[in-house]
């Protein structure tokens, strides 16, 4: 276990602040500053990106605002000025009532090169959309090509993104979950697009590490691991990184 291990904060430090907000990403920036030179730990951020109706890259996980703000508004159907007025922090704690949905460039400006990025493309189409090209442009504009992994459950999204940014590595997310098309629940999306990283859900991580790495030996980065004992076990099995709501706790295991 001598190689560097990337610990990705899942939607920032979402155990301690509302997910995918500047507050959550700010906590991750503070953690990255505390990681000493020479440490085995590399701090990363995992975040979700969608396009608003007016073409802004917004950092938000759900398809709509129901869970976070009690509103049925779909992210892709709303213009950013409308989204920017919505409180996305109070559901977590009243202290975060001022939190709003950030845009991707704002997260890049906050975190810069202090972290590496795992950017999840959020769309369900069976072909390329405007999202892939917009994310590729944003990464290039931020000069962060060398610090980004772009991921998705959707292999078509990954294939489309690769056309715009062939040098940026791709991660395939999968889960044995009813929300995922059955054919993609065990990582078969890698047959539709060549990927660089496998990202199984926690319950499938051991199988991925024991079987799916045979052959191409792809790096495995499981999600979402919040228990230090589980993290330690998966590191011993050979995972290359861990996605966690509590990256501070998990990074302590790596050290």
Residues 28-47, buried b or exposed e (16+ Cβ, 10 A)?
A: bbebbeebeeeebbbbbbbb
Q: Is it the case that residue 1 has pLDDT exceeding 90? A: no
- The Cα 108–Cα 138 span in angstroms is 9
> Rounded to an integer, what is the distance from CA 235 to the centroid of its chain?
19
Q: Has residue 124 been placed in a domain?
A: yes
Which DSSP state fits 36?
P
Domain of residue 208, CATH code = 3.20.20.190
In which residue are the tokens 């904060």 written? 9
The predicted-structure confidence for 72-94, as pLDDT tens digits, reads as follows 999 999 999 999 999 999 999 99
Structure pTM? 0.96
Q: Has residue 252 been placed in a domain?
A: no
Q: Has residue 235 been placed in a domain?
A: no
- 145's CB contacts (< 8 A; 6+ apart) are 139, 165, 167, 168
The predicted-structure confidence for 113-172, as pLDDT tens digits, reads as follows 999 999 999 988 887 789 999 999 999 999 999 999 999 999 999 999 999 999 999 999
What pLDDT is attached to residue 17?
99
Number of domains in the chain: 1
Range of the domain at 13: 5-55+102-226
Q: Has residue 247 been placed in a domain?
A: no
- The Cα 125–Cα 139 span in angstroms is 22
């Amino acid at each position: 276990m001598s190689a560097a291990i990337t610990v990705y904060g899942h939607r920032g430090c979402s155990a301690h602040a509302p997910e995918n907000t500047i507050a959550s990403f700010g906590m991750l920036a503070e953690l990255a500053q505390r990681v000493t030179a020479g440490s085995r730990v590399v701090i990363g951020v995992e975040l979700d990106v969608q396009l608003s109706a007016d073409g802004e890259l917004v950092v938000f996980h759900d398809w709509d605002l129901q869970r976070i703000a009690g509103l049925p508004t779909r992210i892709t159907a709303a213009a950013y000025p409308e989204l920017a007025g919505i409180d996305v922090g109070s559901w977590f704690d009243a202290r975060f009532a001022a939190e709003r949905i950030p845009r991707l460039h704002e997260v890049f400006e906050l975190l810069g090169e202090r972290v590496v990025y795992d950017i999840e493309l959020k769309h369900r189409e069976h072909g390329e959309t405007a999202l892939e090209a917009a994310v590729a442009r944003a990464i290039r504009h931020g000069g962060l090509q060398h610090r980004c992994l772009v991921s998705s459950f959707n292999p078509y999204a990954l294939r489309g993104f690769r056309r715009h940014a062939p040098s940026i590595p791709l991660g395939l997310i999968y889960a044995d979950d009813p929300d995922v098309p059955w054919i993609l629940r065990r990582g078969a999306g890698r047959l539709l697009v060549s990927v660089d990283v496998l990202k199984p859900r926690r319950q499938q991580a051991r199988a991925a590490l024991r079987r799916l790495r045979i052959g191409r030996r792809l790096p495995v980065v499981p999600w979402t691991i919040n228990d230090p004992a589980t993290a330690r076990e998966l590191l011993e099995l050979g995972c290359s990184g861990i996605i966690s709501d509590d990256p501070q706790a998990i990074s302590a295991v790596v050290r």
